[in-house]
Amino acid sequence: MPDPVSLEVVDGIAIVAIANPPVNALSQAVRAGLAGVFAAIEARDDVRAVVIYGSDRTFIAGADIREFGKPPLEPFLPDVINQIEACRLPVIASLHGTALGGGLEVAMGAHFRVADPAARFGLPEVTLGILPGAGGTQRLPRLAGAEVALDLITTGRQIGAEEALAIGLIDKIAAAGDPRTVGVAYAQDLVRQGAAPRRSSALPVQAVAPDVFEQARTRVAQKSRGQLAPLNCIKAVEGAMRLPFLEGLANERALFTELMGSDQRSALIHAFFAERQVAKVPDIKGVTARPIEKIGVIGGGTMGAGIAVAALLSGLKVTLIEREPEAVARAKANVTKTLEGSVKRGKLAQTKFDDIMATTFSASDDYSQLVDADLVIEAVFESMEVKKDVFTRLDAICKPGAVLATNTSYLDINEIAAMTSRPQDVIGLHFFSPAHVMRLLEIVVADKTAPEVTATGFELAKRLKKVAVRAGVCDGFIGNRILSHYRKAVDGAVLAGASPFDVDRALVDFGLAMGPFAVSDLAGLDIGWATRKRLAPTRDPREVYAAFSDRLCEAGHFGRKTGKGYYVYKEDGPCPNEDVLTHVADDRAAKGITPRAMSDDEIVDRYMAAMVNEAARVVEEGIALRPLDVDVTLLNGYGFPRWRGGPMQYADTVGLEKILADVARFAREDDFLWQPAPLLQRLVAEGKTFGDLNDA
């Protein structure tokens, strides 16, 4: 391994280059290298200033996250940064790419900061369940003020060069150029001006209004419910206000160390790596994707319009096909309205919008407009008959090599593919609603799907900035299949004695964005009802079928869209629909169930055991490649709390024995729903975890 930190002295400027691909993370070797070169620089008398820069695509993206959770190795980053700051010569950080976390902390330890116009800055530690632990919480308030520091540190948000300059984080935005040349030129200027070291730690801390920290706590309580790191971030910045620098640093370290040992830190870092690992799919390794420039979308309803918007925002040409002229006009209006919203929110420039409407977007009821489409995504009604008809037409019209995709939620993609003469080109691209917002894309690979078609799906996901997960064909693929199962478990909890409102409250307290009954209201109760009716002929007679939801649907209550479902939607917000309790009581009476009190813990245990048990089957059957694929699915498409890492990470944290014991406990009530997954049993018997399968 070449030395990741090099030193070169040119015309009195010491140039320190960091080369630790891919993102110049501050591994032990980099920390040791920095400590070594700064010691060497101090010993020389031919140096007037020092420049630090990152080679290749970025400055330093932060600490090496792969070292977290292992015994810490010297030298420690705060000490290295203190050493850089203590340098007797002016130290300049030349920033390009991303200066994140420990990388930005190194930059703040330097005395001057010059940046490329496209550089990005941030302290994203909070998103990994920790806090900036190398002086970031102490130096940023001194450079930019406590309010700015609280904002950046508790949200982890990244900022651009203009904003960084405005808040005092950097000193200069240079013309675009390579960071070595930019840094050396700035250093020469500073030497000419006779600039002395200007240490961030020595800057005074400006006083702030006394309620600034209370307001930050309130904000965090709302936005980051249940999370430890944002609260410790606030405490660390508070420390910067009341303690001398070195004591503030020690306080920061103690708060950092506390978070390092937390399950939330493990979970968030698991999520970080899992979201990168899901793109590594063995069957498409080295396979070239087909080029995609023009796509067709069939159906301009909720999903079709959202998919069209997502594609247009990423620069693709889109032709949307509807059934008849009125539907075309409606679909066009849906797409236009959503794009106008993006313009209003500053996400899309007006000129780009005008360009999209004039040249890249079209809508029609004429399928022949798709002759030159590279990929077509069908998003018509969830009916096998309608979908078969659409695919027959696509097969007749589309050019050879066009990818034919379906957005079906549950239906058999092999059966859809069989309607065409080219099943190798057919794939599932399962978006989530709203499709231009939700990050998840399940890429459902059917029996005959060609590897380059799968690779094309992953490339498309990248272009749309989605997290793509490979799934196999089964009823509901990864996410909706698991959802169907845990929905049955919460229905079971209601039959046993909890109310739907108890269930939603307990699970929101657990960390879900919304409870499952509120989610059903949002999606539309008619959707689940249609699925239940479709599956009724094949339903096993041993299944305990909760009928209370059907009663709501029969009365025409489909949730939010009809103003009433499990909740009643009034202008001042939703409130529980008390009629639900009558339907539940009737259902229990019909089944001879005497309701009992159920604790919130039991509700959570049921929900999680059902989710994990079914997910274990999904992994064992190869529907999901690895446990981490399940985690990424639930995190990005189903509102599972990121700080719990996903259901499989949660199961590893509480112990698979507990999950298996819970399955056995609930099976005493319903041994059809609660059958232990063989994979779960095997892992428990072998003393292994889901994490072991991820690493295999």
Q: Enumerate the active-site residues.
A: 105, 125
d(CA 682, CA 214): 49
Rounded to a whole number of angstroms, the minimum distance from the CB of residue 560 to ligand NAI is 12
- From the list ligand 3HC, ligand NAI, none, which binds 98 (C-beta under 5 to 8 Å, kind-based)? ligand 3HC
Among 160, 301, 451, 576, binds ligand NAI (CB under 6 A): 301
Rounded to whole angstroms, what are the CA distances from 446 to 59, 261, 390, 434, 584?
Answer: 42, 42, 18, 25, 40
Contact 271, 646 (CB under 8 A): yes
Contacts with ligand 3HC, 11-30, as mask; x by CB under 6 A: -----------xx-x-----
Do the strands 567-570 and 573-576 form a parallel or antiparallel pair, or are they unpaired?
antiparallel
Rounded to a whole number of angstroms, the minimum distance from the CB of residue 642 to ligand NAI is 21
Residue 311 found at the interface with ligand 3HC (CB under 6 A)? no
Residue 322 found at the interface with ligand NAI (CB under 6 A)? yes
Near ligand NAI in 337-396, by CB under 6 A: 379-382, 386, 390
Residue 61 found at the interface with ligand 3HC (CB under 6 A)? yes
Contact 517, 498 (CB under 8 A): no
Contacts with ligand NAI, 518-547, as mask; x by CB under 6 A: -----x------------------------
Among 62, 90, 230, 300, binds ligand NAI (CB under 6 A): 300
Residue 296 found at the interface with ligand NAI (CB under 6 A)? no
Identify which of residues 105 and 452 has a Cβ nearer to ligand 3HC in the complex.
Answer: 105
d(CA 597, CA 506): 14
Residue 54 found at the interface with ligand 3HC (CB under 6 A)? no
Strands lying side by side in the sheet with 440-445:
361-364, 317-321, 294-298, 375-378, 403-406, 426-431, 440-445, 467-472
Residue 639 found at the interface with ligand NAI (CB under 6 A)? no
Rounded to a whole number of angstroms, the minimum distance from the CB of residue 690 to ligand NAI is 26
- From the list ligand 3HC, ligand NAI, none, which binds 133 (C-beta under 5 to 8 Å, kind-based)? ligand 3HC
Contacts with ligand NAI, 68-107, as mask; x by CB under 6 A: ----------------------------------------
Rounded to a whole number of angstroms, the minimum distance from the CB of residue 67 to ligand 3HC is 8
Of 50-58, 223-231, 297-305, 464-472, the segment contacting ligand NAI by CB under 6 A is 297-305
Near ligand 3HC in 79-98, by CB under 6 A: 98
Say which residues have a Cβ less than 8 Å from residue 123's Cβ, sequence separation at least 6: 100, 101, 104, 105, 132, 136, 140, 152, 153, 156
Closest CA to 584 of 546, 615, 619: 546
d(CA 499, CA 608): 18
Helix pair 229-242, 146-155: axis angle to 10 deg: 160
Contact 149, 234 (CB under 8 A): no
Contact 16, 5 (CB under 8 A): yes
Q: Helix, strand, coil proportions of the chain in percent (round to 5)?
A: 55, 15, 35
Size of the residue set binding ligand 3HC (CB under 6 A): 23
Identify which of residues 268 and 394 has a Cβ nearer to ligand NAI in the complex.
Answer: 394
Rounded to a whole number of angstroms, the minimum distance from the CB of residue 546 to ligand 3HC is 43
Identify which of residues 409 and 636 has a Cβ nearer to ligand NAI in the complex.
Answer: 409
| Sign of torsion over alpha carbons 648, 649, 654, 657 | positive
Rounded to whole angstroms, what are the CA distances from 463 to 316, 436, 674?
Answer: 9, 12, 41
d(CA 201, CA 369): 64
Among 5, 17, 18, 77, binds ligand 3HC (CB under 6 A): 77
d(CA 547, CA 678): 30
The pair phi, psi for residue 427, each rounded to 5°, is: -150, 160
Identify which of residues 280 and 399 has a Cβ nearer to ligand 3HC in the complex.
Answer: 280
Write the Ramachandran bin of 623: left for phi over 0, alpha for psi from -120 to 50, otherwise beta: alpha
- From the list ligand 3HC, ligand NAI, none, which binds 128 (C-beta under 5 to 8 Å, kind-based)? ligand 3HC
Of 129-137, 145-153, 594-602, 661-669, the segment contacting ligand 3HC by CB under 6 A is 129-137
d(CA 200, CA 179): 22
Contacts with ligand NAI, 402-441, as mask; x by CB under 6 A: -----xxx---------------------xxx--------
For residue 13, the cross-strand partners are: 10, 49
Residue 230 found at the interface with ligand NAI (CB under 6 A)? no
| Sign of torsion over alpha carbons 121, 17, 246, 235 | positive
**Number of H-type helices and E-type strands within the chain:** 29, 19
Interaction site with ligand NAI (CB under 6 A): 298-304, 321-323, 327, 379-382, 386, 390, 407-409, 431-433, 523
Binding site for ligand 3HC (CB under 6 A): 22-23, 25, 61-66, 77, 98, 100-102, 105, 124-125, 128, 132-134, 136, 276
